[in-house]
Amino acid sequence: MSDKSAKPHPIEPRKAPRQARSNATVDAILEAAAHILREEGLVPFTTNAVAQRAGASIGSLYQYFPGKDAILTELIRRKRQTMLDAIRLAARETRSRPFAEAVDRLIAAGIAHQLDDPQVSRALEYAESTLPLHTETHELKMAIVAEVSATFAARGFSEPEIAAHDVVALTRGMIDTAGLYGETDASSLTDRVRRAVTGYLKTAPKVSRT
């Protein structure tokens, strides 16, 4: 009856490390966090466990993070930034290359993001849905769609945003499934994803040349 449901755990970091030593501590904490997510998952992911694994004291941990959710948030933000950078790089480096190559590079960026550390990715993915990060999530998706969309628009597709949205979604689906099955052959996966994307794009409307 009471609002037990709302658990507004703080998300933002407490204070930024100012010295090299504390910087190392924060890094160690984040690495330990990723390690636990990778090896044991979200359930045994506790502040005490993270601190211990990081070789730091709980006190130190709480100096920089107000709780486990803040650690997860930081992990998510870093991973996202990495992927977005890769996608932007791929898009920009293939501006004047053949379309097929541009598509390949974008797919490769997405695959790298998910296939690298799939356990951690999956855990963070679910964690994200329980965190108040929806605004950021939306912004990220928008940024990704914007990049892909620009690439499509430059090649004459008339509804680049929709195409980008759907291409990203179906690519994600295939990549996730592959990760689930423990597929490690990126080239085979790339090949099949390319076929799906290409097939889909053939049905997408193009700007009519009058």
Partner DNA sequence: TTAAAATGTGACGGATTGCTCATATTTTGA
Partner DNA sequence: TCAAAATATGAGCAATCCGTCACATTTTAA
Give the residues lining the site for DNA (CB under 7 A). Answer: 9, 15, 17-22, 24-25, 44, 46-49, 56-60, 62-63, 66-68
Q: Which is nearer to DNA, 64 or 152 (CB)?
A: 64
Binding-site member from 13, 17, 41, 67 for a second copy (CB under 8 A) = 41
Which partner, a second copy, DNA, none, binds residue 105 by CB below 5 to 8 Å per kind? none
Least separation in angstroms between residue 63's CB and DNA is 6
DSSP 158: S
Burial 12-29 (b: 16+ CB within 10 A, else e): ebeeeeeeeebeebbebb
Asked if 203 touches a second copy (CB under 8 A), the answer is yes
Handedness of CA 182, 185, 188, 194 (dihedral sign): positive
- The single residue listed with the structure tokens 């990760």 is 179
Least separation in angstroms between residue 153's CB and a second copy is 19
d(CA 37, CA 122): 9
State whether residue 15 is helix, strand or coil: coil
Which partner, DNA, a second copy, none, binds residue 209 by CB below 5 to 8 Å per kind? none
